[in-house]
Structure 1
């Protein structure tokens, strides 16, 4: 017997679905379709379908692993438990660097919708948002369940307004003339970029210790992903209908769509909704990365100083400050497409490890066929390799730096024993 307290199993399928939706529907849907359309052209919806398939495989792998290992840590924990410490490190490192880039993309999305104007003004606004929200996380202020639901409702309402306006408008992009200039590589690249908009579904898997039955996780994953795929498909069709080829060059595609549809009154609504979604997602991610960094630092997979917890606010303040500084640096030097690509690469590395760990689980722990894990693993590898070359090169370089750092740490540990 153990005296360690356990979490209450109170959540049903509906509760888990809401958690998944709040994690998925956010800044990505307001920004990712433009770079994805630039890559895939008129075959954007094919790229969206591929991204949805890979996301589904990744999500069910995470749910299966969480049922067998109901503790926090995600693929970092799964990799360590099933495959070994090195795999866990690669997953955790991919998550930290990928989600740090996600934070930069969300800050830039906020600035694009909230502060139309010169590029340098937008970058300063994005930096200010990161600094203020980092300060909030250091003081222990994070998104509560109530705030998550409010932001989900606001984001959903914004998208519904945009869809209704576009459907009721007379504007339509000129027919013809836009082809899938990137071919199959372009479609694969668009799928890798669109994967950014799905990231967050594994949040459901973290509820393994709080759902009523293990089967709840699987149902919630499939329902939440199904809702999001339908919503994203509707948004993509609306953007293609109104903007056409112009979608590829739009910095604020959803706002541009309602303006093109002849409803300028709806543009401020979209901008406010997109800005709120971006800030909410940014705040949640900053807190999440800080806590993953804390867990890795406790295992000495990151510098031990990042494991410090503030004596008053009880948050990993060193980790939060380092993450905030890294996000500011990315905001100042990267563009939105580059940040999305780099983020997708890191997160695809994370889920590749999750699929491999699920594939290695014993039969008694399995809930889906191994073919699902094989598909997810191959999908992560193919989509990661298909991302823009600068994102792949930067991602591989950062992974190599992380591996080299851990090798040095292990060597130092052996010498000091």
Structure 2
């Protein structure tokens, strides 16, 4: 068997993993309005969906790295898939009981599995073939993040959202007539079949990974003392790392918040029904994909840090429009944001670890953990909305502030020698 054929099937299998965690992150904007309706939640409570997912990432990131180092790539992938599949299947009893707590536990378990997959798949894909083409392989595999981001709202909109949106008066009348609980249970049951299929597909992947021989591709061992010295929180003493972690925390909070309440935002600002709104969101994520490619092209002419400043400034202007202008213009402004935020995660990441050598391992771990910002800022948006009588539009000032922080970081790095931003899975 040639070397190329030897790596082909493992490469296909590992590449499929990139779709899974993208699907998880981008199905949340569908689950938030749906479970808000099915479980009768306010905006703050519905934002706990993001909180459960991103706290899962924060809690599991370091254990996943430890597991990979101790047991290798294959066992780490299999363990991550088992967690992901088990979490998906937990949606069935969650729907049966219509328990929001059970839904959040299920999402945390899925996120734990996705953390394993993301921690392992990014470095592992570079081992599956000629080192000279490692970057091309990683870029190709990461394109499936964009596919997942685009398909998740479409699939969720078609198979989870029912399109039934009763007014508060109608719900009150249904409660008086005794039909409300049956309606709510029917809404909750809408998630059963999609997540059953997801669970089955994931466990099929588990079986394939069990029977397919995967090359470990481990790197040469590093002196234990050196490894311990470099894998230390002391890396935060380096200003670029410290500020990159902060910028990443705010960026991911903005990214998650912009998408998570989009369907609610569209309903509030232009009375757009939930299913068409999910299609608008999917279109916005096409912009995210396109933004990745065009941003990489622009970096041939504009330094990454300066482009970060330009794009974050545009996002601030767009969110000002979104927060204070009503009708389609507000919705279109939010739809444009993903294009401009597409470069931010990988650019912040690259600027944060540039020139660090072995210390980049710990810096990279901290930058991954910084995505916990996605757990907190949507909750703040939900609280602001609830405090203003359900005005979800004004809550988009919170991601606006986040983009200001990102722009300040970009400006602080714009006079340094910079590198082309690494591609990333977010």
Give the TM-score normalised by structure 2.
Answer: 0.32
* Higher RCO (CA-CA < 8 Å; seq separation 6+): 1
Give the TM-score normalised by structure 1.
Answer: 0.33
